[in-house]
Amino acid sequence: MARSEPGLALTSSYSNLSPDVSEGDHSSVDSSGRDGGFYLLRKDSERRTTLVHILSQDINQEHLKQLASSLRNYIQDNSTNSIKDTIARLRTGFEYDPTAMTELQLALYVFQEAVSMNLKTHSIQPHWMFAIDNLLRAAVQEAIMILSPELGANLAGMKEDEQESGVPSTNSIKSIQHAYRNSASAELHTQIDNLEEDNMRLLQQLVQINQSYGNLLRRSLDDKKVQMELLQSFIATSAVSPGSPIKNRVPDIHEPPDEELAAWLKEKQFDQETIDVISREQYLLEDLLELVRLEDLSKLQLRSGIIYRLWRAILNHRDKQPKR
Predicted model pTM: 0.33
Count other Cβ atoms within 10 Å, centred on residue 155. Answer: 21
Span 20-69, pLDDT tens digits = 444 444 444 444 444 555 666 677 677 666 555 544 444 335 445 777 77
| Dist. CA 151–CA 176, nearest whole Å | 9
Residue 150 has pLDDT above 90, yes or no: no
Q: What is the length of the chain?
A: 324
Between the CA of residue 85 and those of 9, 88, 99, 114, 147, what are the distances in Å? Answer: 40, 5, 20, 24, 11
CA atoms 28, 32, 33, 36: torsion sign: positive
pLDDT at res. 208: 93
Nearest to 47 by CA among 118, 113, 117, 126: 126
Give the pLDDT band (50/70/90) at residue 170. very low
Select the more confidently predicted residue: 205 or 163: 205
Helix (H, G, I), strand (E, B) or coil at 214: helix
- Indicate if the pLDDT at residue 157 is higher than 90: no
Tens of pLDDT along 287-296?
888 888 888 8
**Digit-coded pLDDT (tens) for 225-275:** 888 888 887 787 765 444 444 444 444 545 677 888 888 889 888 899 888
Residue 82: count other Cβ atoms within 10 Å of its Cβ. Answer: 19
- Residue-level pLDDT at 201: 92
Q: Which residue would you say has higher pLDDT here, 252 or 169? A: 252
